[in-house]
Amino acid sequence: MSFLRDSIFNQNFEMHYVKGKLNIINYTKIEWMEKEKISLEKVDGTILITGQNLRVQKLLDHEILLDGTIQAIEWKSPDA
């Protein structure tokens, strides 16, 4: 039962790259989006995704699915 509850109420930041798509779970907010850059805020910093033709395929509460040519994923701490 604990596994089921932990899965449903998961608060951990997760990032999965599968079949050319990047799924990000439990980000705090979208700071900005462009075709070549997407910035997502999370509790302990910012995630910057750079690439070409970046597009949102799915957008849910604190979950986003991106596709396009992803060239880099960078994490920046809040004090950087």
Q: Give me the CATH number covering residue 72.
A: 2.60.40.2000
Mean pLDDT of 13-17: 93
The predicted structure's pLDDT at residue 11: 78
Strand locations in 1-80 (E): 14-18, 21-25, 29-33, 37-42, 45-60, 63-76
Instruction: Answer whether residue 5 is part of any domain.
Output: no
Q: Is residue 31 part of a domain?
A: yes
> Does a structural domain hold residue 3?
no
User: What pLDDT score was predicted for residue 4?
Assistant: 53
What is the rounded average pLDDT of the residues 1-23? 76
With a CB cutoff of 8 Å and minimum separation 6, the contacts of 59 are 65
* Residue pair 74/48 in contact by the 8 Å Cβ criterion: yes
State the residue range of the domain holding 56: 12-76
Mean pLDDT for the chain overall: 88
The answer to whether residue 60 scores a pLDDT higher than 60 is yes
Asked if the structure places residue 6 within a domain, the reply is no
Give me the mean pLDDT over the 38-43 stretch: 94
Give the distance from CA 67 to its chain's centroid. Answer: 11
- Does residue 2 lie within any of the structural domains? no
Instruction: Count how many domains the chain has.
Output: 1
Q: Is residue 65 part of a domain?
A: yes
